[in-house]
Chains A and B, each alone.
Chain A
Amino acid sequence: MSQTTQQLDDRRAEGSSRHVGDGRTPVQVRRRAAVRRRVTVWGLGVLIPVVIVAVWQLLSQLVGAYLLPEPLDVARKIVDDASSGAFWGDVWVTLVEVLLGFVLASLAGAAAAVFVASVPLLERLLMPYIVGFQTLPKIALAPLITIWVGYGINSKVVITALVAVFPVFVNVLTGFRSIDRDALLLMRSLRASRTQTFLKLKLPAILPYLVAGLNIAIVFAIIGAIVGEFIGSSNGLGSVILTRQASIDVAGVFSVLFYLSLIGLALSYLLEGVTRPFLAWSENRDS
């Protein structure tokens, strides 16, 4: 039997209770299909980076290592940076800015959304401004913030928070709007107090929206911190990028990008791990 017809047979056998031709039960077939799927995922997981590195190597030879350093050079730089105390100092500075900005944005964004949602009139009045401000590239405010707050860490945290606050605010507000009218009516019919309605209905209902907002915010926070450092800073990964750019150390810039994505990944996974237990109910049943 050829590979493709075998797969077709398997697919047909899924969900049916009869035995397939060679005496295997549908459960066995399904289990084998699952194994095959896992092998495919692993295979691709190895294949994709290999292809990327190969293409990268090729390109670098085409355009010249000055413009696009070879993968091996970048890897060497990454290892170098890992053993440099000064570099970890810069990682730390950026990390602190990101985390402070993120926490500030989360608290302010969620609190503002709770406040706006609890006063319907306020929401109606503020909506045009919210939409207007939302479309404004917050990054463009960064130079202003440095004028107002100065060049220290404060300005980076403020810029980071400013960039990250909107996804939280808008998501939570959307969460409030998505609450079922009948569910609110139910709480009223049970004569629940405002606090009870908030704790037992609104808060759990907005939680998936809040988490979605936080996931965007953490990524935005990294952008905010880097841009803040671009505007004017003598430490942090953003300033490292600028220094290396000035000395045309392209491999060095790539190394910073590597560490930045590592920070992004780590923070995203951390966030997911922390929030997952609260969201089990909203996950898709079949995954």
Chain B
Amino acid sequence: MPELTANDVAPVEGAQVPPSEPRSGDEVIAMTGIQHTYLAGNGEEIPAVGDATLRVGAGEFVSIIGPSGCGKSTLLKIIAGLVHPSAGDIRVQGHSPADVAPEYGLVFQAPNLLPWRNVAANVGLPLEINGVGRRDRERRVEELLELVGLQGFGRKSPRELSGGMQQRVAIARALTTDPPLLLMDEPFGALDAMTREQMNIELQAVNAELGTAVVMVTHSIDEAVFLSDRVVVMSARPSRVAADLPIDLPRPRGQETFGSAELGRHANQVRAVMNQAGGH
């Protein structure tokens, strides 16, 4: 299977690991030649995803970056089984999302909390829908609020929280069912730079602690490099995977990693690939 890697597009120094090789163990996501064309209201065909081939291993952190409108959100929805691709093969946790609904948590750009529920009830929503009893639910919600640093905030209304705190609630909600996969669509796009770095560090801890595989769409190159095991660069619409760059920065990565020369080197690589792929 001819896979486009960084080597086809730009010289990559120090990329010994074959790119789309999962970091460890089983594959959580395996998609080959995924295409998706939307049919607009006026009958016009919009080829969003041209050809996406991608693998994500258990516990791996993969970022997707690419020009606006290139089909990143579409790709996430395909993984989530919310959109069925026009062509190609996809397996999530070993099954086609169309047959067996995959287990995942979903985080959007907006926190997307239900304003009539307090924080705890928002975090507990997935459990409620799965029919988990109140007692178990409360215990689990407590654990998660602690995980995202919001213990004691359970009874607050979402609008009493800052944007960053709301997004933490959304992440807690996505993790309540302990999914092996977290799908995030520009989760920190609305946050200020400082809060964003803080959230990046916390998300890294969650990924390491729980071993949850993460696929995150982002527009921030630094964020992608900081968090990821691999950064997947998509070309403009109809998109294909232009490059799949391994990020071999040692973990855990801390505050000092932002602005480090190592991160800068990787970021420049990503930037070079993006320019060649005709994005941004």
Contact = CB atoms under 8 A, between A and B. Distances in A.
Interface string B19-47: 00000000000000000000000000000
B108 to A, nearest CB: 5
Query: For this complex, into which size category does the number of interface residues on chain A fall?
Result: 10 to 19
Given A196-B129, A281-B157, A285-B159, A189 B114 contact: no
A282 B157 CA distance: 11
A186 B106 contact: yes
A180 B116 contact: no
Contacts of A194: none
A192 B106 contact: no
A47 interface: no
A191 B101 contact: yes
A196 B106 CA distance: 18
B129 A183 contact: no
Given A189-B106, A281-B157, A285-B159, A200 B82 contact: no
Interface string B102-117: 0010101010101110
Contacts of A22: none
Contacts of A281: 115-116, 157
9 contacts: A182-B110, A185-B106, A186-B108, A188-B82, A189-B106, A190-B126, A200-B125, A281-B157, A282-B115
A200 B128 contact: yes
Contacts of B157: 281
The majority secondary structure among interface residues of chain B is: loop
B110 A190 contact: no
B113 to A, nearest CB: 9
A201 interface: yes
Interface in A171-199: 180, 182-183, 185-192, 196
Given A200-B128, A200-B129, A281-B157, A189 B82 contact: yes
A185 B183 CA distance: 13
Nearest to B106: A189
Interface in B118-140: 125-126, 128-129
Interface of B: 80, 82, 101, 104, 106, 108, 110, 112, 114-116, 125-126, 128-129, 157, 159
Contacts of B82: 185, 188-189
Nearest to A185: B82
A187 B108 CA distance: 13
Contacts of B114: 183, 200-201, 204
A185 B82 CA distance: 8
Contacts of A196: 129
Given A191-B129, A196-B129, A200-B129, A186 B116 contact: no
A87 to B, nearest CB: 44
A200 B112 CA distance: 14
A99 B273 CA distance: 69
Closest 7 CB pairs of A and B: A281-B116, A189-B106, A204-B116, A182-B112, A192-B129, A190-B129, A190-B126
